[in-house]
Amino acid sequence: MKQFYDKLVKTRHYLHQHPELSGQEYETTAFLKRYLQDLGIKILDTGLETGLIAEIGQGKPVIALRADIDALPILEQTGLPYASQNPGVMHACGHDFHQASLLGAAELLKAMEEDLQGTVRLIFQPAEETSQGASQVLATGLLDDVVAIIGFHNMPQLKAGQIALKAGAMMAGVEKFKVTVEGVSSHAARPDLGVDTVLTLISMIQNLQALVSRTVSPFEPVVLSVTHIEAGATWNVLPQNGFFEGTIRCFNPELQKRLKADFIRIVEHTAENFGAKVSIVWDQTPPVTYNDLELAELIFENSQNIGELLPAQPSSAGEDFAFYQEKIPGVFAFIGSNGAADAPDLHHDSMMIDDTAFQVSVPYYVENALFLLKHYKK
């Protein structure tokens, strides 16, 4: 197997050198197509501009394996001999490792295609970082017959050889909001002749702080952060317009819906109290990455011999794999990729991956794909 893993390392290093941003993964997609076609693997017609779906085997059941392929707008500072050759773009989230792992799994599954008890669909997904890609893949209709889907994210805090997994919430549901207020401008000496945009904004932000502290159980991990405020251009004029933006994060899908509704109510009522107009824009962001309870237990048990299995600590980051889990029973794991005490985290300009992690990531895909085919064949 040394030759096999050496090939994967070389492949990842190539992908790391040639990162592309979300929705711009044209060369990456072309590389993946050539790689899979050289293995004799069927590429499906998706209509996607970037990313691809391939499959191995035939018939039912159909299970899916997913890897994301996009990079981040970060200037790499690792000093690696295979550092990014695309200045200002870097695989700082390890998606080069994810897609190379799925390529390795594809090669092994193709070699046993005649013995597969169904179909394995391979999803090389674009635009995870912008939370657009999973929805684009679902829109193709090529997952309509999928009975289960699995994926993973590398985790620098875990050592190569470790897998972290649990049923239920693995990563936070994310809401990104921008609240724009329109008041009535006036001289600062005559605020009675205007509608104070600044005061309205500040009051909204203060009122929203009670949303978590006074309406959510202290045993529920929830964050509401306002991170950007803008209003006015000078010292003696009440501005007509202003805005603030930020995020809400939690691990309870029902609570996420309720918080969003309460947020809207508080903002609108505060604007009404001051006589201001308000609009709220919500970006497309992922819901809670929530592992199917029954399927997670099965995958946890089946992964015992793949690596050192640990109970996962949920991450407050978001992951658009969650969009698949809204439609299909799914399991998402964390796979160790560094483990050093000072290992840079995801999205860091010096983030690095221990290539020995392939010895867990590839079997995670392969062994669980085989297991799920047998499980759903019953």
* Cα gap 304→333, rounded to integer Å: 13
* Cα gap 347→73, rounded to integer Å: 9
Q: Is 175 annotated as a binding residue?
A: no
Q: Is 7 exposed, middle or buried (0-12, 13-18, 19+ CB in 10 A)?
A: middle
Structural contact between residues 26 and 110, judged by C-beta atoms closer than 8 angstroms? no
Judging by DSSP bridges, how do beta strands 146-159 and 330-338 pair with one another? parallel
**Torsion of Cα atoms, 272 then 277 then 283 then 286, to 10°:** 0
Q: Is 347 annotated as a binding residue?
A: yes
Q: Is 98 annotated as a binding residue?
A: no
Task: Estimate the crossing angle of helix 2-17 against helix 26-38, to 10 degrees.
Answer: 160
**Torsion of Cα atoms, 309 then 10 then 37 then 97, to 10°:** 40
Residue numbers belonging to the annotated binding site for Mn(2+): 93, 95, 129, 153, 347
Residue numbers belonging to the annotated binding site: 93, 95, 129, 153, 347
